[in-house]
Structure 1
Amino acid sequence: MEPLEMFRRAPEPSGRDRLVRYLSGLLAWAGARRVAVAVAVVLGGALGGWWLLHAPPPAVEQALPYTPRTSVAPGDPLGSSTTVAVAPLGSSGPSVLVVHVAGAVATPGLVRLVSGSRVDDAVRAAGGALTGADVNALNLAAFLVDGTRVYVPRLGEVVAPGVLADGGSGPALRLDLNTATVEQLDTLPGVGPSLARVIVGYRESQGPFRKVDDLLRVAGIGPSKLQQFRSLVMV
């Protein structure tokens, strides 16, 4: 080789050669990108499948069985707008009351209510009082007693004594001394919460009452005290 040959510049590539080189590089880049996308798709599918198989079950919210009771405003016809804590059909046990609601109500018959319910709750559970019902003849705030009957009369209706729930400040119906709670006994005239607890304590320690006069054995109850509520209790 001649000395000057090594210093000669290489010939410039033609336009065709440059185009071929560009297209080759573009194809190589596109191929590598497709491979990367495919790998990402495979990995994403694998991770998604693993998460579906191992994801924790969704939390389930449990509804509380409590149902609020709303106060009755003056003039309220005792309709069905207020929620009443009604026991499920077929329920039984000491926490459930079964009472018979009759008279001027939408759906007279047996109703099941939770223990501690009042006459107002029974009337509402029976669909509410009808137009023309004399709800003032009842003591709507009185506690209910299991196995009793609440009769809602119409205005001007003459009802035999003993049929209506009591309309005064005492309980709606006669209380069973062997099943009444402290709260129910507290509604009796002349009996406060302290004496009510004494009555229940005597019953639990000495056994069930055999007659109403057995209350005279309870500390704090004398003949005059018993006379205040004798007609409102039973055994």
Structure 2
Amino acid sequence: MARLRRMPRQLHAASGRPRRSYDQYCATARALDAVGDRWTLLIARELLAGPRRYTDLHADLPGVSTDMLASRLKDMEREGVAERRRLPAPAAATVYALTDRGRALLPVLDALAAWGGPALTDPGPTDAVRAHWFALPLRRLLGALPTGGATGLVDVRVDEGEFHVRVGALPVDECHEPYGDGPAPGGADTRLALSTTVCAALARGDLSLAEAVRRGEVRVHGTGEVAVLLGASTGPSGHRPG
């Protein structure tokens, strides 16, 4: 049997690959060389919501040490996945943002969220929760509606707070993030309100969005195409008339 040749570790820098490379001539291995380290994809999840300051990233990644976060961001810059930017005055702050290569991770994170959804059983006593962590599964469900090309901005309120998602064939670039923390800048044309428990059931696949709306567990309000498809109330509270 032929012996496999491994690239000497001292040549990794010359090859442009990280020192922890798998040393496999395989597209999957190369991808994991770039983003397979612990925390990297979760940092990308945060940056898909838009440029973030280091302190904001650290606040929304509970459990990561400051040294680890700094190291991972440096790795992501080296791999061309993220970059540092200086915001103009009056903000005058340094932020991290995804590059085009980094934003191309969206379908990867979508697939991971769909695969991991069934594991969202009851949260453990030490589990942190952020509202916008539900953006990926809910955006996928809204995008699967029989919209016929409908687009829209959707504000979503759960127990932990509010986030917004873009639905349909909207451009996903640095000016049009697929989702974000808080209400949509400039306002959304659809608003949803639901509990964290229902949101988790939707992500697990235990409950369909249509059924949750019919049962009143998802309250819909607005005039956008998504709101109309879900059967929005016209009342100010967003509750369906009954």
**Scaled by the length of structure 1, what TM-score is found?**
0.27
Higher relative contact order (CA 8 A, sep 6+): 2
Structure holding more strand per residue: 2
* Larger-Rg structure: 1
